[in-house]
């Protein structure tokens, strides 16, 4: 079978295409024919050697993939050949609170990832995908969508009387927009591009702000909310955005600390946190139970993920470069091997 391997952590140039024997499922495992993958900012960081402890190389990259069960191992009861599934980001976080060793079971990091023609996972490490979604759409769910879902729904208690602020128009933020709208909330979206803001409005954003032409976007959020501020910020910007996210916040508001596309350090003012009675919570993707609940909601609302572009399997490094360029809106997808 065809796989991509990260052989050196030097960016997309470190990816090599190789042929290896197809794996076989052992007891309790399923063999998945992968039909599509999606990329996350994390995959760029891992490829460049900027994410946590170095993984064992060569590494099959990517946490995200969807496909169909091709074969089942002995004793598997949850699945049958032909079932449409996606892998879970954390293979060992089934339910309840996140455990300290969850990251040791993350696909495309501590464990081999999904950028392969076939992969073998535990029968507990996959979920059924929504039947209305294509494989390309469902491949966007395991990391970005679930992170936004944990932030807003599983822990955020987002509701129709709230305003949610999403930063930039990448994968997590566009799912944040869609999930907030699904719960009836008002959404303010920011971007450095007017074209992308038009796409965000088409996806449901109520108000948009270009953070390049309006650098004081925190003041604009306060203006758009008549001075009350955003109730929940999906914070993916990090260094450049966190202090302004705090100043955009309503009294008793929440900030979900998710990412740091501009860096993970911060010189925030602690007094802004206490003066706002702010609730600040780190979010680490989500559990299998949360993934199942999210898929139920997405099915009920026939939600369609924002797929920016689909690259052929043979052009995987080009897909990485596309994400790196920041030209995308929503998710970048790689089709399954032919
Ligand atoms: N905690 C978790 O479990 C978890 C899960 C997923 C992702 N993350 C993290 O969340 C972040 C976003 O991930 P992603 O996969 O959604 O990334 P992505 O798809 O690459 O999106 C990043 C977007 O951020 C916007 N951006 C860039 N610089 C910005 C700035 N200075 N101010 C405001 N916006 C800026 C850009 O949008 P525009 O072009 O529209 O401006 C860009 O497209 C990353 O740091 C990632 O590591 C964490």
What confidence tens digit (pLDDT) does each residue in 141-155 have? Answer: 999 999 999 999 999
What's the pLDDT score for residue 143? Answer: 98
Instruction: Look at the chain and count its residues.
Output: 338
pLDDT band, residue 277 (cuts 50/70/90): very high
Whether 41 lines ligand 1, by a CB cut-off of 6 Å, is yes
Mean pLDDT (the chain, rounded): 97
| Domain parsing of the chain, residue ranges | 2-143+286-335, 156-282
What is the CATH architecture assignment of 2-143+286-335?
Alpha-Beta Complex (3.90)
Distance CA 147, CA 131 (A): 21
Check pLDDT > 90 for residue 110: yes
Check pLDDT > 90 for residue 274: yes
Tell me whether domains 2-143+286-335 and 156-282 share a fold: no
In CATH, which superfamily holds the domain spanning 156-282?
Answer: NAD(P)-binding Rossmann-like Domain (3.40.50.720)
**Distance of CA 142 to CAs 87, 226, 242, 253, 284, Å?**
7, 36, 25, 27, 12
Whether 191 lines ligand 1, by a CB cut-off of 6 Å, is yes
HEC-encoded secondary structure of 79-100:
CCCCCEEEECCECCCCCCCCCC
Residue pLDDT, tens place only, 218-229: 999 999 999 999
Residue pLDDT, tens place only, 55-90: 999 999 999 999 999 999 999 999 999 999 999 999
Q: How is 225-277 classified by DSSP, letter by letter? A: TTTS-EEEEEE--GGGTHHHHHHHEEEEEEEEE---TT-S-----HHHHHHTT
What's the pLDDT score for residue 267? Answer: 82
Check pLDDT > 90 for residue 174: yes
What's the pLDDT score for residue 225? Answer: 98
Contacts 24+ apart (CB under 8 A), 134-138: 134/36, 135/35, 135/36, 135/66, 135/67, 135/84, 135/336, 136/36, 136/307, 136/310, 136/333, 136/335, 137/304, 137/305, 137/307, 138/36, 138/66, 138/84, 138/86
What's the pLDDT score for residue 83? Answer: 98
pLDDT band, residue 163 (cuts 50/70/90): very high
Residues 6+ apart with CB under 8 A from 194: 210
pLDDT band, residue 128 (cuts 50/70/90): very high
Residue pLDDT, tens place only, 321-332: 999 999 999 999
Check pLDDT > 90 for residue 338: no
Q: Is the peptide bond before 103 cis (omega within 30 degrees of 0)?
A: no
Whether 141 lines ligand 1, by a CB cut-off of 6 Å, is no
Beta bridge partners of 255: 233, 280
pLDDT band, residue 268 (cuts 50/70/90): confident
Whether 175 lines ligand 1, by a CB cut-off of 6 Å, is no
Whether 285 lines ligand 1, by a CB cut-off of 6 Å, is yes
Q: How far is CA 294 from the centre of its chain?
A: 13
Ligand 1 atom closest to Cα of 262? Answer: 31
Strand pairing report for 279-282 and 249-257: parallel
């Amino acid at each position: 079978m065809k796989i991509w391997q990260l052989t050196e952590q030097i960016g997309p140039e470190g990816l090599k295409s190789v042929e290896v024997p197809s794996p076989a499922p052992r007891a309790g495992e399923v063999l998945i024919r992968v039909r599509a993958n999606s990329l996350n900012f994390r995959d760029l960081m891992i490829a460049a050697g900027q994410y946590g402890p170095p993984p064992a190389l060569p590494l099959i990259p990517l946490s995200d993939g969807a496909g169909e069960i091709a074969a089942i191992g002995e004793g598997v009861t949850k699945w049958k050949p032909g079932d449409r599934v996606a892998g879970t980001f954390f293979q060992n976080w089934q339910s309840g609170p996140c455990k300290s060793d969850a990251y040791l079971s993350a696909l495309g990091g501590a464990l081999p990832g999904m950028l392969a023609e076939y992969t073998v996972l535990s029968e507990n490490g996959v979920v059924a995908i929504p039947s209305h979604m294509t494989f390309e759409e469902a491949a966007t769910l395991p990391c970005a969508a679930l992170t936004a879902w944990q932030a807003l729904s599983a822990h955020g208690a987002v509701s129709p009387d709230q305003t949610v602020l999403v930063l930039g128009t990448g994968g997590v933020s566009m799912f944040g927009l869609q999930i907030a709208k699904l719960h009836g909330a008002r959404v303010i979206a920011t971007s450095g591009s007017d074209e992308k803001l038009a796409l965000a409005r088409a996806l449901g954003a109520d108000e948009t702000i270009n953070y390049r032409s309006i650098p004081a976007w925190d003041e604009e959020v306060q203006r758009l909310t008549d001075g009350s501020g955003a109730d929940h910020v999906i914070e993916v910007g990090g260094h450049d955005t966190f202090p302004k996210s705090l100043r955009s916040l309503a009294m008793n508001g929440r900030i979900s600390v998710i990412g740091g596309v501009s860096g993970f350090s911060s010189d925030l003012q602690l007094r802004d946190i206490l003066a706002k009675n702010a609730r600040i919570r780190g979010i680490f993707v989500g559990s299998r139970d949360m993934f199942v609940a999210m898929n139920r909601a997405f099915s009920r609302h026939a939600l369609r993920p924002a797929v920016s572009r689909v690259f052929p399997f043979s052009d995987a490094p080009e897909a990485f470069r596309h994400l790196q360029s920041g030209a995308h809106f929503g998710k970048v997808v790689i089709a399954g091997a032919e």
